[in-house]
Amino acid sequence: MEAATTGPIGRKRLDDRTAALARLAALLAMRASATAYRECVDRALAAGASIDDVIDTLKGVAPVVGLARMVSAAPEVALALGYDVDAALEALDIHRPGSPDGF
């Protein structure tokens, strides 16, 4: 950790967490594969990023990468975070305010 954050000439290098989030932003812009998202998100989380950070990255690049990228990337990033959007859209038992029974 120590070595990673300090460069050879004493200037602060980009820390692992930020680097992983930056890579994620690039992947979002490039329309990467599901595997690439997963690896990148795993790395970011391992480097101390929170889920909030990942979501904020997604939101943060939105104005730059545009609507279409957001829509196609959202399920991929979600899956990398362990949330299956497709399944959630199909499932019946997602929270439903104000409805006591199954109907």
Partner 1 sequence: MKAEHEDLLRKLALNDEGVLAPLVGDGVADAAPGGLDDKTAALVRLAGLVAIGSAPASYQWIVTRALVAGASDAEVTGVLVALAPIVGSVRVGSAAPEVALAIGSELDLPLDG
Partner 2 sequence: MGVVESPGTPAAQFHAATSWLAPSFLLEESKLRPPPPRPGTVRRAGLLDRLHASSDAPVVTIVGPPGYGKSALLGQWVEEGPRAVAWVSIEDEDNDPAVLLAYIAAALDRVKPIDVDILRTRAPPGASVAATVARRIAATMSGMAEPVALVLDHTELLHNHQCRDAIAELAVHVPPAGQLVLASRGTPPVPLARLRAQGTVVEVGTDELAMDESEALMLLDGAGVGLGDAEVAELVRHTEGWPVGLYLAALALKSGNGSRNGALAFSGDDRLMADYLRMELLARVPRGRVSFLTRTSVLERMCGPLCDAVVGGTQSGRLLEALEGSNLLVVPLDRRREWYRYHRLFQELLRVELAQREAGAVAQLHSRAAAWCEANGMAEMAITHAQAAGDADQVARLVTACALTAYAGGRLETVDRWFRWFDERDLIEGYPSVAVLGAVLRAVMGQPAAAERWAAVAERASIAATLPDGSPMESWQAQLRAFMCRHGVDQMRRDSELAGKGLAPGSQWRASALALEGVSWLFDGEAERADEILALAVDVGTDVGAVPATAVALAERAIVALGRGDWAEAEGLAKRGVGLIHDGHLEDYGPGTIVHAVLARTAAHRGDVSGARECLGHAARLRPQLTYAMPVLAVQTLLELARAYLALADPAGARVVVREAEDILRIRPDLGSLPGEAAELRATLDTLRVGSVGASSLTAAELRLVPLLSTHLSFREIGERLHVSRHTVKTQAISVYRKLGVSSRSEAIDRVQAIGLLA
- In this structure, how many other beta carbons lie within 10 angstroms of the beta carbon of residue 101? 4
C-beta of residue 31 within 8 angstroms of C-beta of residue 8: no
Q: Please, are residues 41 and 24 in contact by the beta-carbon 8 Å criterion?
A: yes
Pick between residue 9 and residue 103 the one whose CB is nearest to partner 2.
103
CA 50 to chain CA mean position, Å: 10
Could you tell me the smallest distance in angstroms from the CB atom of residue 92 to partner 2? 5
Residue pair 57/73 in contact (Cβ under 8 Å)? The answer is no
Place of tokens 């690896």: 39
Residue 70 interface partner, choices partner 2, partner 1, none, CB cut-off 5-8 Å depending on type: partner 1
Kindly state the smallest distance separating residue 35's Cβ from partner 1, in Å: 18
Q: How far is the CB of 83 from partner 2 (least distance, A)?
A: 13
Any contact of residue 96 with partner 1 (CB under 8 A)? Answer: no
Regarding 69 and contact with partner 1 (CB under 8 A), the answer is yes
Binding site partner of 83, from partner 1, partner 2, none, Cβ cut-off 5-8 A by kind: partner 1
